[in-house]
Structure 1
Amino acid sequence: MGDILFLAHRVPYPPDRGDKIRSCHILKYLGSRAPVHLLAFADDARDLGHDAELARHTVSATVIPRSKSMLVAGLQSLVRGTPASIAAFDHRSMRKAVGEVLAGHAIDAIYVFSGQMAQYIPRDFAGRLVMDFVDMDSAKFAAYAKDAHGPMAWINAREGRLIADHERAVAARADVSLFVSEAEAALFRAQGGAARVQVVENGIDTEFYDGDAGFERLNAAGPLIVFTGQMDYRPNVEAVDWFAREILPQVRASYPQARFAIVGRRPGGTVTALGKLSGVIVTGEVEDVRSWLAAATIAVAPLELARGIQNKVLEAMAMARPVVATPAAACGIDHGGALRVAEDANAFASEVVALLDDPSAARALGAAARARMVERYGWSARFSVLDTLVGLATPGRAGDRSAA
């Protein structure tokens, strides 16, 4: 086959947040099998300057800084009648770059990562089109609308409706639409999505996320409960706020020395304020999240709103940590019973306390979690279906770049 154009709403390197972890590994997989041209946005200065790493997996890579505010995007969306999250990624330089790649190379397939980038698919493109929605953004905004009041309820409901229309229109055109879990795919089908829907799950690098791997280790005195994630992401903010205020006090009633570490970059005012509560640690960005996971007595994922598969859960399980998660955070993960699931604050606290009460059971749960990750969630096994979906050269053909 010819070349692949890979469009990403965030540059797939470094893989330091959920969406970038998935896009990074997909880019590596595609780049090992065909020439790939990457066009991506960067909304953080730290995402620039990784040309050497991207060159290992692409034949060309263009990263365009994006700084449009949501206020400007919101005003544009009202004028144009489009979703604000689509307007936020509308950029003249990206349109120009797409045109130049298509004019200068024999592009047989376009891999679109995230619905925001579908606006750059040329109307006359006749090659294979793979749309990786990952999860349903429209459902996320619909959920926001139910929890909001006043103008925000209207804004989120409008965004959800418009994104749903956008998702259906894009899926109708794509050769295949990808979702990260069967739950997301089923929801899309049920809400009128196209029939050409495929599940491509996330995986986990079990060699990197290994409690026995070499990295700096933290010394933890007393029970340490750890949450990891991007801390300017609303579901994560709501999750840690709920745990710190409603669950942790119940845990500390039994274990007064228990501490709750919120590990992740860009904590805003709500999260930073939690650091003033007894037993709560807010780290901000850390050099290596594995150090905190290795030190954790228990990892938690108390998300009330979650879409797709939670990488934070896969990472903690791969590190052989006992994990307690809400049904929303566990949804889509074929965990085989190797994590504890609890829905309300009382049940969640009870599960945490039960694991603290029985260290041997906690160690056994962690060992089972890692075994499940090794068995079920290797990246190569998860992505092998892409060979057919994208029309890739099979490994071993002349065009194979796996040795690069």
Structure 2
Amino acid sequence: MRVLFLTTRFPGDLRSGDRRRAYEQLRLLAPSHAITLLTFDDRGGDPALRRELFGLCERVILVPRDRAGMLVRAALALPTSTPLQAALYASPRLRQALHDACAQASFDLVHLQLARLGAFAPPSSALPCVVDFVDALSLNMARRARYDRGPMGLAARLEAHRLARYERELCGRVSAGAVSSARDRAALGDPPNVHLVHNGVDPAEFPFSDTPRDAAAIAFVGNLGYFPNVDAASWFATQMPRIRVAMPAAELRLIGARPAKRLLRLAAHVEGVRVIGPVERVHPHLARAAVAIAPMRAGSGQQLKILEAMASGTPVVATTDAAAAIEAVPARDLLVADEPHAFADAVLRVLGDRDLAATLARNGAEFVERRYSWRASAQALERVWRDAIGARTR
């Protein structure tokens, strides 16, 4: 297949969920198909990954990011029904690059990553188009609005309503869609043309580790500047004094890029909270932790932090929504709790019971190995592509 693959960010930074997903899709599908990558050039990420993608893709087209133009488009969209996410990325330069690419080569399919690129979906009479929603951004915004008390919470509430209409309308305009979890598909209205394409784990990057662990280390991994992660870490950190009464050596380690000031203040004032910040590789930190947590209240989609911790043999405690997104079985694959005290008690159970920790580690790793690989994810997307082209042919 000849595929024109559009993303909002160059897929060269594997610490970001949507970039990781795009990178794995390109890494596994580009050797078998002629893929042209069209994306904004943010000059970031790993130079080695950048070179790899240039080698894998038939062509890479980079469009300069016009930040001033993004702000103008967002301002103009405020009095309309257009989601700000869509307005920000409705770049005339990207549209011209898309037009030029289609004029210079014949494609079988256009692939758009994320609903925010919905403005670039070709007319139904033109090329088949697949949108990888990854998750329901409207659900993400609605959950943020519930917990963010600042101005961004008000903006999220407005954006959630706009996105809900926009995402459903987009599902009706494109040939097919992909989403990472059944809950996100339900948030889109369970359209028949939207298919499950799960996230995955690279077993070479996150191998099972049975080496000795820091007995009281609690790991939280993620982009520490992203609101759902900031909210989750802050929510759990309030329970650290209670946890340290039972286990004085307990330490919450916050691992990830762009630590928010809110988390830095927590680390300065709450005993047992430490911001490690960005790291070159996450696995060594997971392999040393006695337990990994995903106390997610906001956000959507499948949490890579859970899949990667499970693959590494680190027992996981998560909220119900986070566990349900990966369809894990509570008390078998991980522990689940939603109230602050109950969540803290579940963490203490794992820290204090080696047999329970070993059972969760083994079951979690087997669960992920059985269900979540990037190869299976890429194959699922490939089927969506073929079905979209086949439906157009029929």
TM-score by length of 2: 0.90
**Closer, same or farther: CA 265–138 of 1 in aligned 2, 3 Å:** same
The aligned amino acid for 2:306 is V
Does the alignment pair 1:273 with 2:260? no
Please name the residue that 1:16 is paired with: 15
Please name the residue that 1:348 is paired with: 343
Please name the residue that 2:313 is paired with: 320
Please name the residue that 2:207 is paired with: 210
Report the CA distance between 1:189 and its aligned residue. 1.7
Deviations along 1:347-398, whole A, 9 cap, x unmatched? 1111111111111221221122112111221222233233332129xxxxxx
Structure 2: where are the runs of 5+ without partners? 388-394
SS in 2 for 1:13: coil
Q: Any conservation in 1 of the 2:219–2:253 contact (CA below 8 Å)?
A: yes
The aligned amino acid for 1:313 is I
SS in 1 for 2:245: helix
Q: Any conservation in 1 of the 2:63–2:97 contact (CA below 8 Å)?
A: no
Deviates more, 1:358-367 or 1:229-238: 358-367
Distance 2:375 2:186 in 1: 24
The aligned amino acid for 2:140 is K
Distance 1:383 1:159 in 2: 30
SS in 2 for 1:107: coil
Q: Any conservation in 2 of the 1:51–1:61 contact (CA below 8 Å)?
A: no
Distance 1:270 1:150 in 2: 13
Residue 293 (structure 2) aligned to one of 291, 295, 300: 300
Does the alignment pair 1:388 with 2:383? yes
Q: Any conservation in 2 of the 1:109–1:130 contact (CA below 8 Å)?
A: yes
Report the CA distance between 1:72 and its aligned residue. 4.3
Deviates more, 1:138-147 or 1:266-275: 138-147
Please name the residue that 2:180 is paired with: 180
Deviations along 1:310-350, whole A, 9 cap, x unmatched? 00000000000000001122122132421111111111111
Distance 1:71 1:99 in 2: 24
Deviations along 1:107-154, whole A, 9 cap, x unmatched? 110111101112122337622211111111112222333445686555
Deviates more, 1:106-115 or 1:383-392: 383-392
Please name the residue that 1:402 is paired with: none
Structure 1: where are the runs of 5+ without partners? 393-404
**Closer, same or farther: CA 279–177 of 1 in aligned 2, 3 Å:** same
Distance 1:6 1:125 in 2: 19
The two structures, once aligned, show a CA RMSD in angstroms of: 2.5
Please name the residue that 1:199 is paired with: 196
Deviations along 1:19-70, whole A, 9 cap, x unmatched? 1121111122331221000012244634678541112321111233436277
Q: Any conservation in 1 of the 2:182–2:325 contact (CA below 8 Å)?
A: yes
The aligned amino acid for 1:284 is G
Deviations along 1:207-245, whole A, 9 cap, x unmatched? 2201459xxx9x975511000001111000000001112
Q: Any conservation in 1 of the 2:302–2:322 contact (CA below 8 Å)?
A: yes
Distance 1:44 1:240 in 2: 29
Q: Any conservation in 1 of the 2:320–2:337 contact (CA below 8 Å)?
A: yes
Q: Any conservation in 1 of the 2:11–2:23 contact (CA below 8 Å)?
A: yes
Identity of aligned residues (%): 31
Please name the residue that 1:368 is paired with: 363
SS in 1 for 2:220: strand
Q: Any conservation in 2 of the 1:305–1:328 contact (CA below 8 Å)?
A: no
Please name the residue that 1:113 is paired with: 113
SS in 2 for 1:33: coil
**Closer, same or farther: CA 16–148 of 1 in aligned 2, 3 Å:** closer
Q: Any conservation in 2 of the 1:82–1:162 contact (CA below 8 Å)?
A: yes
Please name the residue that 1:400 is paired with: none
SS in 2 for 1:275: helix
**Closer, same or farther: CA 244–67 of 1 in aligned 2, 3 Å:** farther
Distance 1:168 1:121 in 2: 14
SS in 1 for 2:232: helix
Q: How many residue pairs end up in the alignment?
A: 384
Q: Any conservation in 1 of the 2:228–2:296 contact (CA below 8 Å)?
A: yes
Report the CA distance between 1:302 and its aligned residue. 0.7
SS in 2 for 1:390: helix
Report the CA distance between 1:71 and its aligned residue. 5.3
Residue 285 (structure 1) aligned to one of 273, 278, 291: 278
Residue 252 (structure 2) aligned to one of 247, 254, 260: 260
Q: Any conservation in 1 of the 2:26–2:53 contact (CA below 8 Å)?
A: no
Does the alignment pair 1:137 with 2:137? yes
Q: Any conservation in 1 of the 2:232–2:296 contact (CA below 8 Å)?
A: yes
1:206-245 equivalences under 5 Å are 206-212=203-209, 222-245=215-238
**Closer, same or farther: CA 67–302 of 1 in aligned 2, 3 Å:** farther
**Closer, same or farther: CA 51–309 of 1 in aligned 2, 3 Å:** closer
SS in 1 for 2:117: helix
Residue 249 (structure 1) aligned to one of 228, 241, 255: 241
SS in 2 for 1:201: coil
